[in-house]
Structure formats: structure tokens, C-alpha cells
Structure 1
Amino acid sequence: MVKKVYGSAAEALEGVLFDGMQIAAGGFGLCGIPENLIAAIRDAGTKDLTVASNNAGVDGFGLGVLLETRQVKKMISSYVGENAEFMRQYLAGELELEFNPQGTLAERMRAGGAGIPGFYTKTGVGTVIAEGKEVKNFDGQDYILERGIVADLSIVKAWKADDTGNLVFRKTSRNFNPPAATCGKICIAEVEEIVPRGSLNPDEIHLPGIYVHRLVQGQHEKRIEQRTVRKREEA
């Protein structure tokens, strides 16, 4: 039986990181982000990274910590509006950015994980998204060719796992984590809880362990990206 469970995020990343690599990172906003693995990458000092992720975290948290240390060369993202440092670096020409519509980014990850090199989509036709891409007409409609993403490393966050790497995601964290996990040549998952083998209901497993190469249990901070409240109504 191949050992998948490691004692820390740093141990799980040992021998995997190298300068100039491409990383697919799961998460949606601040939900389901692999914060321990991101922190370990920061501490390792790996640089010139290309990171494919729905968003870039916020200042001082999530992928934002890698932006602060200038370890990211390029972001492939669909939404980056909550990160002031990201905006500063991009406007100053210090950071490359490849914008993707959200569904296109998810499908690029899914396609890469499924061994599909590319696919055609109507999303982005006639916009800057289509610049430099092949356009093909199907049934009288134009479609643009998008390439699947195959990353050197996937880092994802799940709720539960068993020691074989079967993963269960919780609510919103299921959006980008599964496709991100499948598109990496190596996938490392951090989880809140590792349960005994056989205790997960097979019908509730969202990602089979065949996709997960390494696993680490960690402590996670529950942050709210935008806290919105209203005044209590008087009785």
C-alpha cells in the first residue's frame, strides 16, 4: 500500500516543488482554499510560479501570501477583485494575468484531468478572451478553442478523507477543488479530518483516491470574505 498521509504540509510538498512550475489551486473565494499548503509553498521560497485558480485570495491570506512575497509570476483566474496587492502588481506590469470566464476555467481544469487537450466554447466569442485563439463555426455559430490545463501540481482542500485519499468536499468548496485536483500531475490534498478506511459512504465520496497522491491533515481558519449584516428589526 502506497503511503499517502504525511505529517505536515511541508513534508507533503517535499521533492515536488521547483521554480517556474505551474500549480492548480482549488477553492472559491476564501472557501475551501488549501491554506496550509500555500503557506508551506511560501516558506519553501519556490518562485516564478504560474497559478491557475478561480481567484487570488485576499491580502495576507490564501494565494495573497504568495503575491506578497513575489513568488507568483502569472495568474490564470476568473475573479481577482478582492486583492489590492494583486491589482497593484498587475497595473504596475509586475504580474502576468490570463483572464478566463469562470465556467471556462473550470472546464479547462476538468478537460486537462480527463485527458482532453482542448474544447470549443461560445463563451468569449467576439471579446478580448478570443484574441489569438482558433475560431471555428459549428451549425452557423462561432466557437473558440480553449486548451485543457495540465498542471505540475494540484493543491486542494477537502472536508474529510480516508487514508487512501478518497475525498469529501463541503458545500461551496466543491466548486473548483474537484477539477483542480484532477488536472495536476501530482495532487496533494489537505483535509480537516482523516477517517478510518471504509468509514466513508461510497455514494458520498466526491473524488476517488486514485487522483490523490499525498494527503495531510491540518487546522484551518474560517474567514468570511465580505461580512454583510443588517440592523436588527425592533420587535
Structure 2
Amino acid sequence: MDSLKTFDTNQFLTKNDLCKEGNKVFKEIYLDKEICIVNGQEKIPIKFSPGSKVKVKGVEDEIFLRFAHMSSINKDESGVNITGNSSKYDLLPCVNDFCTCAEDCCENFSEDFLEKGKHRMVCNYRMSKLYWIKEIIDKINANEDIKIIQSPLKSGRGMYLRYVKIYFESKRFKSKFIIILEKKKRGSLFELYFTTAYPVVLKSLIKKLDAEYKNGKIKKEELFLA
């Protein structure tokens, strides 16, 4: 069933209250509890690292960088990118019909914080998907048909690394959502490390993901194999 819990960003009057509560929920769900992909008696834990903390404009206290990243967009994902060239023709029509945005990110990008040299802006729509990571993992564990993509193996000098992308399409919310994980080997066991998650809004990225799924799709059971 296509039902997912959303984080109600409309209940907050200020960016400070919004980010403070979102940061708290992120910690409670993803840092304080264990989340695993389960297959029978086997399970692979998903490790959520908070990363460093970052100062966001209009927010009193620093928030977790991992939370800030997944709850924001950069200029290349808005209507105007860093070089001033319009990227709006690569954007899907906005499907945000339930989050009240203080500013129009497509026409008036506002810099809220800097990450690795890129300006990012807090996005209420992205933050509203805060619960989706856990809820989509729960759907996988319930054996619902969710797209899983696994990248080719990168190995050498004792390293084992694959990227796993969980690609969810919601008809109810008219959106596509991706969770990106790193798959690493520890002894004879595998662990998954959360990288990021966000709604997919660029047509070029959808085309890329469709091609990756065609060549790298796997079943949940295959996550437990090399």
C-alpha cells in the first residue's frame, strides 16, 4: 500500500523551530535506534552517522550535517545554478501541494548554509520526507516490491565497497524518492552505511536511475551476498 508518514513542516512558524524539531526527530529515529534490512533470520544493520554539525542561517543551534543535507537543495537542483545558467528545464513540475514554502527555491534561491563549497537552501518539501527512509525500509522488510540497485564491486587492498540505491516511486504523492547507501564488508558480515536520501526531481537523474536499475537491479536477498 502506498502510504507513508510525512513530517508536518506546516506546523512551524519559524525556520528555527522547524529545523530544531526536524533535527530532534532525525536523532530519535535514525541515531538512537537500530534500523536493519531483514531476510528471514539474517539482518544487515544500516549505520546512520550524524556527521559533523553545521550552522544554518536563522537557526539558533547547529544541526546535524547529515540531516541538513537531506533536508535541503543546492543551486543545481533549483531554477538557477551557481553559474547563473538556468536548470529549470531539467526539473520535473513541482508536486509540493502540502508544504508551505517561505521562499520560492526556483526563482529566489536563498543560501542557508555551505557544504563542501556548495550553497544549500533548507527545503520544507524534502524535510517532510524525514520518516520515509525508515518507512521504505519497513516496506522492503515486509517483502513489498521496491526497486533496489547495486553498483559494481570496488575492491582492492582489503577494501570491499558497493553502492546500494533504493528507488521508491509513490503514486499517491506523485514523487520518486531515492535512498543511497554504502555496502561494506566487515569480516564475513556486511554493513550498510547511510549516505543520503531525497526526492528525485531532475529528469536527467531519473533517466540515469532507470538505466542503472536495468543493469544493476537485485532482489533483497542479494544484499546478503558479495
Q: TM-score range by the shorter chain?
A: under 0.3
User: Under a length normalisation based on structure 1, what TM-score does the superposition of the two structures give?
Assistant: 0.23
User: Under a length normalisation based on structure 2, what TM-score does the superposition of the two structures give?
Assistant: 0.23
